[in-house]
Structure formats: C-alpha cells, structure tokens
Amino acid sequence: MKHGQWMLNGTDGERWGAFERFDTKEEAIIYGVELLTEYNSLDDDERRDYDLSDGLNMRPLDYENIYTFFVGQIEEVGFPNEVDTLLENIAQCVYDEVGECGEEYLNDVTQEHKEQLSDLIYEWAKQRDYLPACFKIEMVEEIDIRSFEEVAE
C-alpha cells in the first residue's frame, strides 16, 4: 500500500479490504468497470465461481447484476506524537506517589528534548514493526458502470 494510491470497494462502508491497488483513479475505475461488466455477462452458475473479493471486497450471494462500486484514495495513518501526554502521565504518577514535592516534575522539559523523545519512540516503533499498517480512504466516489457507453444493461 502506498499513500496516494486508489482502490475499489463494493460498498461505501468503513472497511475497505480489496487487494488490488492502482496508481491513478482512472486505472481503478477502468478496472472496476471491466470487472463488473464481465461479472454481469456471466450466468448464475458462472457468477457463483467468480471472485470479486480481490478487486471489490465483495461476495454477492444473490447473483444479481451489479452496476455500482466505489473508488477512493488511500491515505496513510500517521504515527501519533503523544510525547506531551506521556510526560504528563509520568509526572502525574510521580505526583500521586509523593504529592506536592512532585508538582513541578518534568515541567521544564525543553521542546528540543520533546522532539528527541518523539523521534526515539518513532524509531522504536519502526524497528519493531509497530507503525500503523492501516489506512484511511478519502475522496470516495460512487461509480455507476451504466454511465459508460460500452456498458449495456
């Protein structure tokens, strides 16, 4: 998965799980139109064995014609910078243990040191493969294959 790639889905649901990825929106749409055009040209027995899961993340059970799909752009989920929250939690733990004596603990951490800690946490997550593998889908558009001249009902 690369940031900026496009993918297809059978519904505009929360979970997009198709395996196919495309570098352009146009490539994705052409693939989706071709996939559904081929599917719709099959009889029920052939549709039963036709796999739409890789391309559209769907497994139709009624074998009716399908005319719409969704296209969307992949957006990476960034690794959150929660250094301030982490430092606040650590300071709170110290305060809970010793009371007022720990009230000013970690209040003097510089921005440079916060950035170093953030980089350290990020590198730790990267080295151990803890960076988010999930993604968001943006710029979702419903495509109706009947709007393409070469597709007949």
Task: Give the total number of structural domains in the chain.
Answer: 2
Q: Is residue 1 part of a domain?
A: no
Q: Is this structure's pTM higher than 0.85?
A: no
Domain of 138, in residue numbers: 6-77+133-147
Strand partners for 68: 144
pLDDT confidence of residue 45: 87
Length of the chain in terms of residues written? 153
pLDDT confidence of residue 60: 86
Q: Do residues 63 and 21 both lie within one domain?
A: yes
Annotate 71-84 with DSSP letters as a single string.
EEEEEEPPPP--HH
Q: Is residue 152 part of a domain?
A: no
pLDDT confidence of residue 121: 98
pLDDT digits (tens, 9 = 90+) for 86-116: 999 999 999 999 999 999 999 999 999 999 9
> What does the pLDDT average to over 21-44?
95
Q: Do residues 48 and 32 both lie within one domain?
A: yes
Q: Do residues 19 and 64 both lie within one domain?
A: yes
Q: Do residues 98 and 66 both lie within one domain?
A: no
Structure tokens that stand for 95 in this block: 């305060």
Q: Do residues 29 and 47 both lie within one domain?
A: yes
Annotate 47-97 with DSSP letters as a single string.
HHH---HHHHS---SS-----EEEEEEEEEPPPP--HHHHHHHHHHHHHHH
